[in-house]
A and B are shown apart, each in its own frame.
Chain A
Amino acid sequence: MKRLYPVLIAGFSAGVFEIVPMAKSLSCCLIIPTAALFALYLEMKSTNRPEPFDISIGVRFGLLTGIFAALFGVTIETIVTLITKTNDLVESFPQMQQMLETFPVDKMTRSEVVGMLKTVAEQIRTAGFAPLYTFALLVNTLIVNSIFGIIGGMIGVKLLNNKYYGGK
């Protein structure tokens, strides 16, 4: 368990940052790669690592950071949505609806897509929870965060090896 502390700490931090609107808009796609780099840095400091990192360690740390960030992020967002009964989707729904209304597609397709969004937005507004939305969000976040985590882990290995191990 102790070996997971760096990725747990970095993943939790990233998960929290991902739902803070201000932090999100400033750093967007840099949150997860930075968290993976942070996890590697924590590992290096906590174990007083004598030798440089192997890229496979970067991949593993990045992947785990991404997964934990996704799990923490979606859990926190679900709890916040349960309490506030609103989220990004609900807030951007009128704008999305407006965009879809002016979209040059046939009426049936448009109404089906708007209907899908409306159902989810309505569930969130009334119950604070939409199972389909939460599931889709979890799957999307797991995939996207894992990929960005791996990228961050690999770049993190290169940066840390350059800085602390003479570029080995």
Chain B
Amino acid sequence: MKKVRLLIFLLILVWNLGNFIQALALLNHIFLFAFPVLKPTYHLVCHQQPDKLIHIFGTSTLLCARCTGIYLGGLAGAFALIFTGRKLSLPTKYLLYSSLPMFLDVGFVMLGVYSYSKLIALLTGLLLGSVGIVYLTELIEKFLSQNRSFTE
């Protein structure tokens, strides 16, 4: 179980590092060559509107603040799950509750109740990502236990 959770954490870590590829290119210029490939890849899952990207050390993320929040939340959740030995079983309603702030934020911004805030988008994304990863891990583990040939 721990191996699966560690693998999930590592995969999400790689995905998150890709999001910060421009910042990584500051550490090693070789990462900049991945930029032309990664930008369209991340465009598949995010609109990448320039005003909604997170700016850090003079660079920007490839995903918007909300998506960055979701995946960072997923990363934090996946990290915490490595140290939790328990079998996961969370009612679906919690997934809906955790997505509610995000959908409310999207709705309020679209209705003009308040203007878009990167911080709110990031935080609501973090909430959904951290809860969502528990479901995802539960489902992956259930799938693997149903198909033992995958793990044995």
Contacts and interface: CB of A to CB of B under 8 A. Distances in A.
A59 interface: yes
Contact of B29 (A18, A54, A105, A162): A105
Interface string B13-43: 0000000001001100100110111011101
A109 B45 contact: no
A26 to B, nearest CB: 8
B104 interface: no
A140 B139 contact: no
B147 interface: yes
Interface residue tally of chain B, by bracket?
A: 20 to 34
B146 A105 contact: no
Interface in B94-152: 95, 135-136, 139-140, 142-143, 146-147
Nearest to A73: B44
Contacts of A99: 22, 60
Nearest to A112: B33
B45 A113 contact: no
Contacts of A103: 22, 25, 32, 59
A83 interface: no
A28 B29 contact: no
A54 B146 contact: yes
A28 B36 contact: no
A99 B58 CA distance: 10
B135 A140 contact: no
Contacts of B39: 92, 96
Contacts of A166: none
Contact of A140 (B26, B40, B140): B40
A113 B36 CA distance: 8
B43 A88 contact: yes
Given A29-B46, A29-B67, A55 B142 contact: yes
B29 to A, nearest CB: 5
B92 A154 contact: no
B2 interface: no
Interface in B35-93: 35-37, 39-41, 43-47, 49-50, 58-60, 67, 70, 92
25 contacts: A24-B47, A29-B45, A29-B67, A29-B70, A88-B40, A92-B39, A95-B50, A96-B36, A96-B39, A99-B22, A100-B32, A103-B25, A103-B32, A105-B29, A109-B33, A116-B36, A137-B40, A140-B40, A140-B44, A141-B44, A144-B41, A144-B45, A154-B140, A158-B92, A158-B139
Interface of B: 22, 25-26, 29, 32-33, 35-37, 39-41, 43-47, 49-50, 58-60, 67, 70, 92, 95, 135-136, 139-140, 142-143, 146-147
Given A56-B143, A100-B35, A140-B37, 12 more contacts: A29-B46, A88-B43, A92-B39, A96-B39, A99-B22, A105-B25, A105-B26, A106-B29, A140-B44, A144-B44, A157-B139, A158-B92
